[in-house]
Amino acid sequence: KASVGFGGSCFQKDILNLVYLCETFGLHECADYWQKVVDMNDYQKDRFAKQMVKNMFNTVTGKKIAVLGFAFKKDTGDTRETASAFISKSLIAEQAKISIYDPKVKEEAMNEALKYAGCDMNEAAKCITRAADVYEACNKSHAIAVLTEWDMFKTLDFQKIYDNMEKPAFVFDGRNILPHAELE
């Protein structure tokens, strides 16, 4: 499925190993191809964050954004190479206020992922809060960004969420899992 980008430590490492092997055996075009897969994944994360800013009238400064999901995939607390950290870094640079909800990710893992993504942790501490539940994360937010495909996000009470959001309200479905027809 097309999405905000792949994460996890193994997939990118395996692709980079293919790049190395192809270069070693003189298969430069093949190496370039596999390197472009990694490059496109990085581009997709950056593009997603930039599209959020653009769609929110070219500024997210001081705006609350609910990040739903921080793990690199559902059903895990693993944050290695998670797209959420890189997108959060971009939003922090734009001075957004981020409220993160993930049912399995521990705070230490989230902080390590943010450090790995290159976040200024002093700025992150000012801009990021962790929410105890999804509705708390979304309360008074200007936007929602679904960044992990947790099944629970498919069946949320979107009317309740919308009623408690700032207007205009934005939804960015980075995993293509939400019932878009219901959200319009």
Which amino acids are annotated catalytic?
A: 10
Side-chain-facing half-sphere of 35: CA atoms under 13 Å: 11
**Amino acid found at 172:** F
For residue 69, CA distances in Å to 15, 59, 125 come to 25, 22, 18
Whether residue 168 has a cis bond before it, omega within 30° of 0: yes
What pairs with residue 66 in β-bridges? 99, 144
Token pair in block for residue 130: 């962790």
What pairs with residue 130 in β-bridges? 100
CA Rg, the chain, in Å? 17
Token pair in block for residue 83: 């797209």
Would you list the DSSP string of 57-111?
Answer: TT--TT-EEEEE--SSSTT----TT-HHHHHHHHHHHTT-EEEEE-SS--HHHHH
